[in-house]
Amino acid sequence: MNDIVKKITDADLLIDSFPAGNNEEVEHFRIKFLGSKGLITGLFDEFRTVPVPEKKEIGRMLNDLKKKAGDRYNRLKEVMESADTGENKFDLSLPAEPVPLGSNHPVSIIRNRIITIFERTGFSVAEGPEIETGWYNFGALNFPEDHPAMDMQDTFYIQSGSTGPSENVLLRTHTSSVQIRVMEKTPPPVKVICPGRVYRNETITARSHCFFHQVEGLYVDENISFPDLKQTLFYFAREMFGTETNVRFRPSYFPFTEPSGEVDISCLICKSKGCPVCKNSGWVEILGCGMVHPAVLANCKIDPVKYTGYAFGMGIERIAMLMYRIDDIRILFENDVRFLRQFSGSA
Give the distance, in angstroms, between the CA of residue 239 and the centroid of all CA atoms in the same chain.
27
| Superfamily, domain 106-343 | Bira Bifunctional Protein; Domain 2 (3.30.930.10)
pLDDT number for residue 34: 81
Question: According to the model, what pLDDT value does residue 84 have?
Answer: 57
Task: Give the alpha-carbon dihedral of 27, 29, 30, 36, to 10 degrees.
Answer: 120
Point out the residues of the chain with pLDDT beneath 50. 86
Q: Are 182 and 218 spatial neighbours (Cβ–Cβ below 8 Å)?
A: yes
pLDDT at 218: 97
- Rounded to two decimals, what is the model's pTM? 0.69
Instruction: Read off the pLDDT of residues 281-340 as tens digits, 9 standing for 90 and up.
Output: 889 899 999 999 999 999 999 999 999 999 999 999 989 988 888 888 899 988 888 888
Q: Which residue ranges make up each domain of the chain?
A: 2-85, 106-343
Burial zone of 228 (CB within 10 Å; 0-12 exposed, 13-18 middle, 19+ buried) = middle
Q: Which pLDDT does position 236 carry in this prediction?
A: 95
CA distance 215 to 125: 10
Main-chain dihedrals φ then ψ at residue 288, nearest 5 degrees: -115, 155
